[in-house]
Structure 1
Amino acid sequence: MARQVPMLVLKTWPAPLELRTARTLLRQWKESDLPAWCAMNADARVRRYFPATLGTEMAVQEAQRIRGAIAQRGWGMWALELPGSLPFAGTVGLHVTTIDAPFVPTVELGWRLAPEAWGRGLATEAAQAAVRFAFEHLGLDEVTAYTAADNLPSQAVMQRLGMQRSPADDFDHPLVEAGHPLRPHRLFRLRRAT
């Protein structure tokens, strides 16, 4: 039996917000982002730490859910743009986690970038803007991030952000089948006081 998960009460804005950093723009998604998003999610390199790649239909459905959450709240997993160089580089932002896990309810910090945006510190830079938004505008005391135990690149970003891991928080992802090598996950936390 699934446990009862308390609801988070979070601030919303009537229109999608944008966040800017020195090199990035976090914005609402556009229809023109979808081909690049679908290509990203069909790429085995991008989906290396997911159980499978996504076909076009599934990728579009995921993008629509992400876009809908931003339309509803004013914030979420924004489209990542590099103004003047890359119109769509992936997604970075905040997500209200709904999986059945001991640390839920929580607002999760996440990112998924196209390969051409890798290795440039863009995930860290954009995620820092999302963290500031979470603490300064949403008034959260903590954000979390989690990934497969083998996903060392994402864990490195979490560490650069100052996030901390306690092995006691590690968990098996409930949506990944038992025995799958990507089922073990590591949870990282960042508290406002940090």
Structure 2
Amino acid sequence: MSTPEPRLHTERLLLRGWRESDLEPFAELNADPEVMRYFPAPLTRAESDALAGRAAASLAERSWGLWAVERDGEFLGFTGLAEPRFEAHFTPAVEIGWRFARSAWGFGYATEAATRVLRFAFEELRLEEVVSFTAVQNRRSRAVMERIGMEHDEADDFDHPALPGASPLRRHVLYRARTRLEDPMKIGSS
């Protein structure tokens, strides 16, 4: 399951390819009801392993995608880029996303890792725009989006097509980062 470079580094974190040893802690965080609160349901072990497999394959194929995140050798979760697999007014697009174990919350890891990935998206991939979205109620992820310099326009909000109409999670907010910043270190500095 190991994937080749690129690896991304921050002051405290390593964003790297996936390892077999990541599967167990990844399954644990995907089974945690609080981590998965703004998703339709926690993932089974098979679903979690399949997600890690797709992430590893994407990194191997394109050299970008969802990187495993570690600190001092400990797997914390993932951060990276993906292409939404549904149609909406903003697709096709490249999305930035993250998911961390609850034990890693509150330390700024999501912001730190996402800042680095956003810089990679603009500097290395030369993307013109990166989006991020989540359920309206997900204040923690929305705060990360704002800290990394993404902007929200209520006119962009949408009903997620993969969720049933009665789902309280169906309404999603969309955030955008549209331009390469002259000083990428300013991303997330607010």
TM-score (norm 2): 0.91
Q: Among all aligned residue pairs of Structure 1 and Structure 2, give the percentage whose two residues are the same amino acid.
A: 48
> Which residue of 145, 158, 162 corresponds with 1:171?
158
Query: What corresponds to 1:20 in structure 2?
Result: 9
Query: What corresponds to 2:185 in structure 1?
Result: none
Structure 1 unmatched runs, 5+: 1-13
Structure 2 unmatched runs, 5+: 182-190
Worse overlay, 94-103 or 41-50: 94-103
Paired residue type of 2:142: Q
Find out whether 1:61 has 2:35 as its counterpart. no
Query: What corresponds to 2:147 in structure 1?
Result: 160
Paired residue type of 2:117: A
> 2:17, 2:65 → 1: CA distance?
9
> Which residue of 82, 85, 89 corresponds with 1:102?
89
Find out whether 1:32 has 2:21 as its counterpart. yes
Worse overlay, 88-97 or 14-23: 14-23
Paired residue type of 1:73: R
> Which residue of 53, 60, 70 corresponds with 1:81?
70
1:135-172 CA-to-partner distances (Å, cap 9, x unmatched) read 00000111100000000000000011111011111001
Paired residue type of 1:157: V
Aligned residues: 179
> 1:30, 1:43 → 2: CA distance?
21
Decide whether aligned partners of structure 1 residues 138 and 193 sit closer, same or farther in structure 2, where only a CA change above 3 A counts: closer
Shift of 1:50: 0.4
Q: Residue 171 of structure 1 contacts residue 187 of structure 1 at CA under 8 Å; is this kept in 2?
A: yes
SS at match of 1:59: helix
> Which residue of 42, 46, 49 corresponds with 2:35?
46
Paired residue type of 1:62: L
Shift of 1:191: 1.6
Query: What corresponds to 2:106 in structure 1?
Result: 119
1:166-189 CA-to-partner distances (Å, cap 9, x unmatched) read 111100111111110000000000
CA RMSD of aligned residues (A): 1.2
SS at match of 1:175: coil
Paired residue type of 1:117: A
Q: Residue 129 of structure 2 contacts residue 179 of structure 2 at CA under 8 Å; is this kept in 1?
A: yes
**Stretches of 4+ aligned residues off by more than 2 angstroms:** none
> 1:159, 1:178 → 2: CA distance?
28
Q: Residue 16 of structure 1 contacts residue 73 of structure 1 at CA under 8 Å; is this kept in 2?
A: no
Find out whether 1:92 has 2:75 as its counterpart. no
Shift of 1:16: 3.1
> 2:6, 2:179 → 1: CA distance?
21
1:66-119 CA-to-partner distances (Å, cap 9, x unmatched) read 1111111011110000125xx210000111222111100111000000011100
